[in-house]
């Protein structure tokens, strides 16, 4: 596998991990924009815009975009997070140029008024769909608490009210401020000839405008509180807890990931043995979340309402024990094997590598081989773990509980 990179005159970066032995290739436009770049009047616009990119361009109707993506047999999709919007497609190498032609065209969408109103209904249905899933609302609430008035507190989807209030003109304005060529990266992986890849991009992307689309990445101060949400349709009880964690730039992020595996992976972790294996909870876990300038750990619990208090004490007991006594060498060894094997298995599919190298580049402007990625985790020591929990105390947290309505 060979990594290559270049930057077009307008600032569009192009990176690729070329693997001549792959059967397929994957490409994607990774855009440094997401819900943290919205103000309250634009809540939900990044995700809505991601949908609108599929609704046509000056030369393609919405039906053309969908039809052409299917004609090249691609598996294409997109997602929006707090910090990124990613448009991606996996395909056979012979379709690469057509794939880039469609995806790059989608990056200059028409944002037509009638498409905007139809798609608004789809987004409202998406929100209604999640609203019927009882944990929904807990993640949004804990982000609101933890990040206070920082823009990371705003949900990616938006609310029914905020999405209803959005106009096509507001979206066009947002697009003009965020989709600068220099705020985007074209990423490729798998069977790709890099020189050809760059030529294809040059023919299609050189006219894109460049302007400042930087964001404030200062560490957001953390806030702590407890909150309860009553949900009519819930039968189980759900708890989510947040505490501060390493940002995307901080070296402790490797230790944070190992720590989360040891405390809350879905198999073989402390939470697994004490809550799942023992039949106390349906699920329980922990994961690190990194953003530019800030980060957090989230832990989750789902169980019968009558057992929730006791189970939460067990979760907090696990966390307290790690905070005070650290983890064991044996646990660290197990987590290393697990993560290194995971890294190797992911490396076999161009689509998985696309996410890895694209996200790495957006967050840190770095490329990591599979081995370097595995080594980052393999080198985490017990001391690193101890330092990480000292810097980011796991027991200083917020708690949101979703309870069945009485």
C-alpha distance from residue 25 to each of 247, 253, 271, 367 (Å): 31, 29, 38, 18
Tell the smallest beta-carbon distance from residue 365 to another protein (Å): 28
173 Cβ contact partners less than 8 Å away, ≥ 6 residues apart: none
For residue 257, state whether it binds another protein (rule: CB under 8 A).
no
Residue keyed to tokens 């409202």: 124
C-alpha distance from residue 202 to each of 45, 195, 205, 342 (Å): 29, 11, 6, 35
Residue with smaller CB distance to another protein, 61 or 172: 61
The token pair at 301 is: 């619990």
Tell the smallest beta-carbon distance from residue 129 to another protein (Å): 5
Tell the smallest beta-carbon distance from residue 211 to another protein (Å): 31
> Which DSSP symbol is given to 221?
P
- Which of 12, 15, 49, 90 forms a contact with another protein (CB under 8 A)? 90
Tell the smallest beta-carbon distance from residue 158 to another protein (Å): 14
Report the 10 Å Cβ neighbour count for 216: 11
Identify residues 222-251 at the interface with another protein (CB under 8 A). Answer: 232-236
Using CB under 8 A, which of the segments 10-18, 173-181, 298-306, 319-327 binds another protein? 298-306
User: According to the 3-state scheme, what is the secondary structure of 32-90?
Assistant: CCCHHHCCHHHCCHHHHHHHHHHHEECCEEHHHHHHHHHHCCCEEEEEECCCCEEEEEE
- Quick note: the x/- pattern for another protein over 319-358, rule CB under 8 A, is -----------x--xx--xx-xxx-xx-xxxx--------
**What sign does the CA torsion over 107, 113, 118, 122 have?**
positive
Using CB under 8 A, which of the segments 132-140, 145-153, 211-219, 383-391 binds another protein? 132-140
Query: d(Cα 239, Cα 301) in Å, to the nearest integer?
Result: 5
Residue with smaller CB distance to another protein, 246 or 347: 347
* Selection from 348, 381, 357, 358 nearest residue 254 by Cα: 381
Tell the smallest beta-carbon distance from residue 243 to another protein (Å): 26
For residue 167, state whether it binds another protein (rule: CB under 8 A).
no
- Quick note: the x/- pattern for another protein over 11-30, rule CB under 8 A, is ----------xxxx------
Q: How many residues bind another protein (CB under 8 A)?
A: 68
Strands (E), 64-217: 75-80, 85-91, 184-190
- Which of 3, 112, 177, 268 forms a contact with another protein (CB under 8 A)? 268
Identify residues 269-288 at the interface with another protein (CB under 8 A). Answer: 273, 276-282
- Name the strand (E) or helix (H) holding 322: helix 308-325
For residue 168, state whether it binds another protein (rule: CB under 8 A).
no
Phi, psi dihedrals of residue 53, rounded to the nearest 5°: -60, -25
Query: d(Cα 248, Cα 386) in Å, to the nearest integer?
Result: 19
Given phi > 0 = left and psi -120 to 50 = alpha, else beta, which region is 158? left
Report the 10 Å Cβ neighbour count for 371: 13
CB 358 within 8 A of CB 263: no
CB 238 within 8 A of CB 302: yes
Identify residues 34-63 at the interface with another protein (CB under 8 A). Answer: 54, 62-63
Tell the smallest beta-carbon distance from residue 280 to another protein (Å): 7
Residue with smaller CB distance to another protein, 17 or 252: 17
Tell the smallest beta-carbon distance from residue 287 to another protein (Å): 17
- Which of 9, 59, 132, 161 forms a contact with another protein (CB under 8 A)? 132
For residue 1, state whether it binds another protein (rule: CB under 8 A).
no
For residue 99, state whether it binds another protein (rule: CB under 8 A).
no
* Cα-based torsion angle of the residue sequence 177, 179, 182, 188 in order, rounded to the nearest 10 degrees: 170
Residue with smaller CB distance to another protein, 77 or 210: 77
Tell the smallest beta-carbon distance from residue 337 to another protein (Å): 5
- Which of 126, 193, 249, 375 forms a contact with another protein (CB under 8 A)? 126
Query: d(Cα 271, Cα 298) in Å, to the nearest integer?
Result: 13
Tell the smallest beta-carbon distance from residue 266 to another protein (Å): 10
Using CB under 8 A, which of the segments 113-121, 215-223, 292-300, 360-368 binds another protein? 113-121
Which residue ranges make up the site for another protein (CB under 8 A)?
A: 21-24, 54, 62-63, 65-67, 69-76, 90-92, 118-126, 128-129, 131-134, 232-236, 267-268, 273, 276-282, 302-304, 330, 333-334, 337-338, 340-342, 344-345, 347-350
């Amino acid at each position: 596998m060979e990594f290559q990179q270049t930057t077009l005159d307008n600032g569009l970066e192009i990176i690729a991990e070329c693997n001549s032995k792959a059967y397929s290739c994957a490409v994607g436009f990774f855009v440094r924009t997401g819900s943290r770049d919205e103000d309250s009047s634009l809540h939900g616009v990044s995700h809505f815009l991601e949908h609108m990119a599929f609704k046509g361009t000056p030369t393609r109707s919405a039906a053309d975009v969908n039809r052409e993506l299917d004609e090249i047999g691609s598996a294409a999709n997109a997602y929006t997070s707090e910090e990124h919007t990613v448009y991606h497609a996996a395909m056979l190498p012979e379709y690469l140029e057509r794939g880039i032609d469609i995806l790059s065209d989608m990056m200059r969408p028409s944002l037509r008024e009638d498409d905007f109103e139809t798609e608004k209904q789809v987004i409202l249905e998406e929100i209604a769909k999640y609203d019927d899933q009882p944990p929904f609302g807990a993640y949004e609430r804990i982000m609101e608490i933890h990040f206070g008035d920082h823009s990371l507190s705003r949900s990616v989807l938006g609310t029914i009210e905020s999405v209803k209030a959005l106009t096509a003109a507001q979206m066009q304005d947002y697009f003009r401020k965020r989709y600068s060529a220099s705020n985007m990266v074209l990423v490729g992986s798998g069977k790709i000839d890099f020189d050809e890849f760059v030529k294809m991009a040059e023919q299609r992307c050189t006219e894109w405008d460049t302007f400042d689309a930087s964001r404030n990445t200062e560490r957001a101060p953390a806030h702590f509180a407890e909150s309860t949400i009553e949900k009519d349709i819930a039968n189980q009880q759900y708890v989510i807890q947040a505490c501060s964690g390493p940002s995307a730039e901080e070296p402790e992020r490797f230790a944070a990931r190992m720590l989360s595996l040891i405390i809350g992976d879905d198999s073989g972790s402390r939470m697994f043995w004490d809550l799942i294996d023992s039949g106390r909870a349906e699920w329980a876990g922990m994961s690190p979340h990194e953003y530019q300038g800030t980060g957090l750990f989230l832990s989750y619990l789902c169980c019968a309402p009558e057992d929730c208090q006791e189970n939460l004490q067990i979760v907090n007991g696990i966390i307290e024990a790690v905070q005070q006594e650290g983890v064991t060498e044996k646990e660290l060894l197990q987590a290393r094997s697990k993560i290194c094997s995971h890294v190797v298995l992911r490396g076999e599919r161009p689509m998985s590598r696309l996410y890895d190298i694209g996200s790495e580049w957006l967050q840190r402007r770095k490329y990591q081989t599979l081995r370097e990625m595995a080594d980052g985790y393999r080198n985490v020591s017990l001391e690193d773990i101890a330092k990480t929990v000292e810097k980011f105390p796991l027991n200083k947290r917020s708690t949101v509980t979703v309870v069945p309505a009485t």
